[in-house]
């Protein structure tokens, strides 16, 4: 009888499950350690990665209108899921602080490292803003969101982070947010729009190889934390985009037949030549898809803001 594998962490369990599956996969949330955080910040600065520039343009062009929609009679709590370095959010925070809005900023991220850096930068740049950081996954945070019910909640999800979820999971995510909302609360969420397939592929397949290094950080992290022997050079980074479904996918492809030993899991992963590990998805949307997701989740679209090219949209949702 095969012994039961006992895992010491979710990372161990998810890695074991993913590399034992067919086809193989690894969860993208584990890319984000200290190195992964820095790589993603580099990705956001790439000229090919249009999402950051588009959302920044929206925030700059519509600052007053967005800020006014956030405000409530007793102020509001601004809760950002997946805050990252807060670069775009700071545009709003500066305006809110200058206009002396009564609010608290509560950034949430899976990476404690990135939260510490964000809090330090805000203390230096905007010391008048009250900041309360929370480390954790979206789903754990959502369990606590309903505790914030003394005044209006504004929940921010930027960077089209919802695009990392398949539609079924996105609906579950939106339902969880809705369940924590009162009628006066609002959800402000970014959705990358469908556009030229080449434009999308270029954003995830940059010539400098930053996105490749970002995806391969999964293997690097398994090597370091689980005592594995992945040879990163023996894996090819590959991107696909289906314009019909709007789904971009990232893969790491084994160039050769090989075995990878993961000592802390007492496990050997076997790879055939050209076998894949699915690492990420990035979903693209249009108004009809977003409206459908909202309807399935018990939300309604109240307003939206877009950039000059209409590459990207931020939608305002209310509880239906």
Say if residue 271 is in the same domain as residue 202.
yes
Average pLDDT, the chain: 94
Say if residue 166 is in the same domain as residue 291.
yes
Position 268 in a domain: yes
**Regarding beta strands 235-242 and 247-254, do their DSSP bridges make them parallel or antiparallel, or are they unpaired?**
antiparallel
pLDDT the model gives residue 3: 56
pLDDT tens-digit readout, 201-258: 999 999 999 999 999 999 999 999 999 999 999 999 999 999 999 999 999 999 999 9
Position 4 in a domain: no
Say if residue 104 is in the same domain as residue 252.
no
Res 72 pLDDT > 70: yes
Say if residue 278 is in the same domain as residue 292.
no
pLDDT band at 193 (very low <50, low <70, confident <90, very high): very high
Number of domains in the chain: 2
Res 2 pLDDT > 60: no
Percent of the chain scoring above 90 in pLDDT: 86
Say if residue 68 is in the same domain as residue 185.
yes
pLDDT the model gives residue 253: 98
- The Cα–Cα gap between 157 and 135 comes to 15
Position 313 in a domain: yes
Fill in the DSSP letter of residue 117. H
Say if residue 69 is in the same domain as residue 183.
yes
pLDDT tens-digit readout, 100-133: 999 999 999 888 888 999 999 999 999 999 999 9
Position 56 in a domain: no
pLDDT tens-digit readout, 81-101: 989 889 999 999 999 999 999
pLDDT tens-digit readout, 29-53: 999 888 998 999 899 999 999 999 9
DSSP secondary structure of 87-118: TTHHHHHHHHHHTT--EEEEEEES-HHHHHHH
Say if residue 236 is in the same domain as residue 87.
no
Q: Which domain holds residue 91?
A: 62-193+285-319
Position 273 in a domain: yes
Position 54 in a domain: no
pLDDT the model gives residue 25: 98
Say if residue 277 is in the same domain as residue 223.
yes
Q: What is the crossing angle of helices 34-45 and 210-226, to 10°?
A: 180
Helix (H) or strand (E) holding 248: strand 247-254
Say if residue 109 is in the same domain as residue 174.
yes
Say if residue 257 is in the same domain as residue 272.
yes
Is the peptide bond preceding residue 109 cis, with omega within 30 degrees of 0? no
Say if residue 235 is in the same domain as residue 107.
no
Given a contact cutoff of 8 angstroms between Cβ atoms, the answer to whether 66 and 154 are in contact is no
Say if residue 68 is in the same domain as residue 96.
yes
Given a contact cutoff of 8 angstroms between Cβ atoms, the answer to whether 276 and 24 are in contact is yes
pLDDT band at 1 (very low <50, low <70, confident <90, very high): very low
- The Cα–Cα gap between 299 and 177 comes to 10
| The two three-digit tokens of residue 150, written as one number | 């003394």
pLDDT the model gives residue 146: 66
Position 3 in a domain: no
The CATH number for 184's domain is 3.40.50.150
């Amino acid at each position: 009888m095969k012994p039961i594998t006992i895992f010491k962490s979710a990372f161990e369990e998810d890695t074991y499950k993913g590399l034992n599956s067919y086809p193989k996969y690894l969860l993208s949330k584990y890319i984000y350690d200290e190195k992964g955080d820095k790589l993603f910040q580099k990705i956001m600065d790439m000229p090919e990665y249009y999402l950051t520039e588009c959302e920044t343009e929206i925030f700059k062009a519509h600052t007053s209108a967005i800020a006014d929609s956030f405000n409530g009679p007793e102020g509001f709590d601004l809760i950002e899921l997946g805050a990252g370095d807060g670069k775009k959010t700071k545009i709003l925070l500066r305006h809110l602080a200058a206009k002396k809005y009564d609010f608290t900023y509560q950034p949430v991220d899976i990476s404690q490292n990135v939260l510490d850096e964000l809090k330090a930068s805000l203390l230096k740049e905007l010391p008048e803003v009250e900041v309360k950081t929370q480390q954790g996954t979206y789903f754990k945070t959502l369990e606590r969101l309903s505790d914030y019910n003394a005044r209006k909640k504004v929940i921010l999800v930027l960077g089209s982070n919802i695009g990392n979820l398949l539609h079924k999971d996105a609906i579950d995510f939106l339902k969880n947010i809705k369940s924590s909302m009162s009628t006066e609360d609002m959800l402000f969420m970014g959705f990358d729009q469908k556009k030229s397939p080449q434009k999308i592929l270029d954003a995830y397949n940059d010539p400098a190889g930053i996105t490749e290094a970002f995806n391969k950080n999964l293997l690097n992290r398994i090597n370091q934390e689980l005592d594995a022997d992945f040879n990163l050079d023996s894996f090819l980074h590959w991107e696909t985009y289906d314009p019909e479904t709007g789904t971009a996918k990232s893969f790491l492809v084994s160039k050769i037949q090989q075995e990878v030993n993961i000592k802390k899991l007492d496990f050997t992963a076997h790879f055939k030549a050209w076998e894949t590990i699915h690492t990420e998805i990035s979903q693209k949307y249009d108004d009809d898809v977003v409206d459908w997701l909202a309807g399935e989740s018990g939300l309604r679209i109240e307003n939206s803001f877009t950039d000059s090219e209409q590459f990207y949209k931020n939608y305002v949702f209310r509880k239906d």
